Amino acid sequence: MLLSNLHLLTQAPNGVAWLRELILTLAVQGKLVPQDPNDEPASELLKKIRTEKDRLIAEGKIKRDKPLAEIAEEEKPFGLPNGWSWVKGRDLFSVIRGVTYQKTDARDTPTETHLPILRANNIRGTVNLDDLVYVPAALISEDQLLRAGDYVVCLASGSKNLVGKAAPFTESLGCSFGAFCGAIRPIQEIAYFAVYLASPMYRDSVSEASAGIGINNLKGSSLLDLDIALPPAPEQSRIVTRVKELMRLCDALQAKSQLEATQHVQLVSTLLATLTESETPAQLADSWNRIATHFDLLLDRPESVDALEQTILQLAVRGLLVPQDPQDEPASELLKKIRVEKDKLIAEGKIKRDKPLPPIAEDEQPFALPTGWNWVRMQEAFDVRDGTHDTPKYVEQDGVPLITSRNFDAGKICFDSAKLISRTDHELIMRRSRVDRGDILYSMIGGNIGNQVLVDTDREFSIKNVALFKYVSRTHTLPLYLNLFLETVTLGLQGRAVGGAQPFVSLSLLRSIPFPLPPAAEQSRIVTRVAQLRRLCADLRLRLAASQSTQAHLAEALVQEVA
């Protein structure tokens, strides 16, 4: 059943990860390899381990256990194959506590008197020797020196997913481990133990046993109390071999999936580039027809739909998304009207006179424009300002929200997270940057340069470290057209940000951006068409999400059926 449905598992989201967990689950339940009636049963192996344990107790190398009751029938999570036995962790290993040391004891470099210490960040399925610290050897007991065959375990972490994580120690290195870790030391070498410690059964057990507020703690006694299904020694060897084979298969499936994803991204990128490289509507139609033939194959991943949506925006601002109408009043006439409106506002003292901007040179024009369009500097078509750069004194109540880019959430303003300033400070900021419905706010500083919001509220608020695109005349330019254009230039602006820890784009840079201005009537047609196509993209994402959810449910059902 597993092999015949392998394609279903690998195609599902996180399918290979599920396959790995299924392999380990089957392994610790005795379902991965056949049993051999000639194998010496696990009960005989346990006698040998008990003999070795008694010898170590007699030599004072380990402590004698307190007597424990047998594992009750209701404690056993599943039935065992013939020859297997349920055992407690303490029957197979001891747990060594980590080294306690002061921060002042630790150093970053080794010396003759210091030994390396493993910490939780060094446990990643295998032992990773990066970022070690070194503590005085005098603080480390002989028991706390790791030996080949030990397993280092994270015993304390803020994450439930990390606590209990274990890795075999196979290094020929004299080292120990910190107090947030422990070491499982098998009484007798058991290679199968690595399979058990990687299994969901073990992870579920330690997750349930760990407790704490803020930090999850796993006691050594909880490891000793683990219920473990122990196979006969020969079957352990077969299980380990089979697990390694299947994990290599998983590695190959994962590599194949990653390669296919990379190749798919490259293919989609190449094909969509033929659309944006079109110079005429006829070339665009021809390229689109070739792509549409394989639409279902190309757009079978959310990232492909994202790429398509970005392509739609690029086509929109290049004048290739809707046909031109020779009856439209050209953008050159629109610019004259905007200039008249600007001069009027300057005369009334409502805006400042622009500083002269240089003409847009040929090499600044990223593409040719259709008839009726014009290249203009952003400041020529809009009034580009920014908010305050100072930090006014905050008030607890009866204040006005001060909005920064941190209050932008998916294209909306989140007023609930905004701090309040006094009305006096608000009115001072308003003189510089009054925000009205239909204006666009644009993040110009920090790690979220390019986040933008089309203001859709009449609520009063001030802005800080945010660019403000205001309309000189709302009858001549549409907010939605500017909004979609800004989405197409964000990546380029992020690359031109300056500054160190807090990179930013300057107001002068935003004002000088070359802006492809269409006739007013065409702006309206573009905005309408983009909205239609974005709804199509949203529908595609919903269908893909539903398909992936179905795949995930089928894969989960298969895993449960097989397990």
pLDDT tens digits along 188-205: 988 899 999 999 999 989
Q: How would residue 474 be classed by pLDDT, with cut points 50, 70 and 90? A: low
pLDDT for 296 equals 72
Beta pairing, strands 400-403 & 462-463: parallel
Say how far apart CA 515 and CA 484 lie, in whole Å: 12
Percent of the chain with pLDDT over 90: 45
Fold for the domain defined by 40-68+79-231:
Adenine-n6-DNA-methyltransferase TaqI; Chain A, domain 2 (3.90.220)
pLDDT for 165 equals 92
pLDDT for 498 equals 80
Q: Which residue has the higher pLDDT, 295 or 268?
A: 268
pLDDT tens digits along 207-247: 888 876 667 888 998 999 999 999 999 999 999 999 999 99
Say how far apart CA 87 and CA 362 lie, in whole Å: 79
Q: Which residue has the higher pLDDT, 128 or 554?
A: 128
pLDDT for 70 equals 73
What does the H/E/C string look like for 345-413? HHHCCCCCCCCCCCCCCHHHCCCCCCCCCEEEEHHHHEEEEECECCCCCEECCCCEEEECHHHEECCEE
Fold for the domain defined by 331-518:
Adenine-n6-DNA-methyltransferase TaqI; Chain A, domain 2 (3.90.220)
Residues in Cβ contact with 245 at an 8 Å cutoff, skipping those fewer than 6 apart? none
Q: What is the arithmetic mean of pLDDT over 249-271?
A: 83
93 touches 186 (CB < 8 A): yes
Q: What is the arithmetic mean of pLDDT over 245-250?
A: 90
216 touches 157 (CB < 8 A): yes
Say how far apart CA 244 and CA 82 lie, in whole Å: 24
Q: How would residue 153 be classed by pLDDT, with cut points 50, 70 and 90? A: very high
Residues of each domain in the chain carrying CATH 3.90.220.20: 40-68+79-231, 331-518
Residue whose C-alpha is closest to residue 25's, from 195, 225, 252: 195
pLDDT for 516 equals 94
**Is the pLDDT score of 69 beyond 70?**
no
For the chain, what is the mean pLDDT? 87
pTM above 0.85, yes or no: no
Q: Which range (9-13, 164-168, 394-398) has the least confidence?
A: 9-13
In the numeric block, the tokens 């089979």 are attached to 242
As given in the structure block, the two tokens for residue 277 are: 């490289």
Q: How would residue 455 be classed by pLDDT, with cut points 50, 70 and 90? A: very high
192 vs 42, 448, 536, CA distance in Å? Answer: 13, 49, 52
Q: How would residue 548 be classed by pLDDT, with cut points 50, 70 and 90? A: confident
Residues in Cβ contact with 536 at an 8 Å cutoff, skipping those fewer than 6 apart? none
pLDDT for 64 equals 79
**Is the pLDDT score of 563 beyond 60?**
no
